[in-house]
């Protein structure tokens, strides 16, 4: 049975931004790993503290990017949502 053709839509500016944020957070994790642990180690050998540091690297990068997004587009609906997430 053939699959129906997939309908691709043009990515929205929010989709593009989210892709950018994912890539930047992944880079932050990679940079932390390169600077802090031997990369040939299996993931399962990382300590809980090291895993927390990885999470902190990604979260820190997300906070910076979200703050920049709010500053660039203060009136946009996503800016209000991001502000709510950042401010709690």
pLDDT at 1: 59
What is the separation, in whole angstroms, between the first and last Cα of the chain?
A: 49
Contact predicate 29/58, CB 8 Å: yes
40 belongs to a structural domain: no
Give a yes or no: residue 59 inside a domain.
yes
Q: What is the distance between the alpha carbons of residues 26 and 41, in angstroms, rounded to a whole number?
A: 18
Query: Is the pTM for the entire model greater than 0.85?
Result: no
Q: What single-letter DSSP state applies at residue 40?
A: T
Q: Classify residue 17: in a domain, yes or no.
A: yes
Using 70 as the pLDDT threshold, list the residues of the chain that sit under it. 1-5
Q: How many domains does the chain fold into?
A: 1
Q: What is the DSSP letter of 76?
A: S
Domain containing residue 75: 13-33+46-87
Q: What is the pLDDT of residue 4?
A: 63
């Amino acid at each position: 049975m053939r699959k129906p053709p997939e309908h691709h839509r043009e990515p929205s500016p929010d989709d593009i931004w989210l892709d950018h944020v994912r890539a930047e957070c992944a880079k932050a994790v990679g940079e932390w790993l390169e600077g802090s642990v031997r990369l040939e180690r299996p993931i399962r050998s990382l300590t809980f503290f090291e895993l927390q540091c990885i999470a902190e690297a990604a979260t820190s990068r997300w906070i910076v990017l979200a703050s920049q997004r709010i500053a660039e587009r203060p009136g946009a609906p996503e800016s209000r949502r991001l502000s709510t997430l950042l401010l709690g």
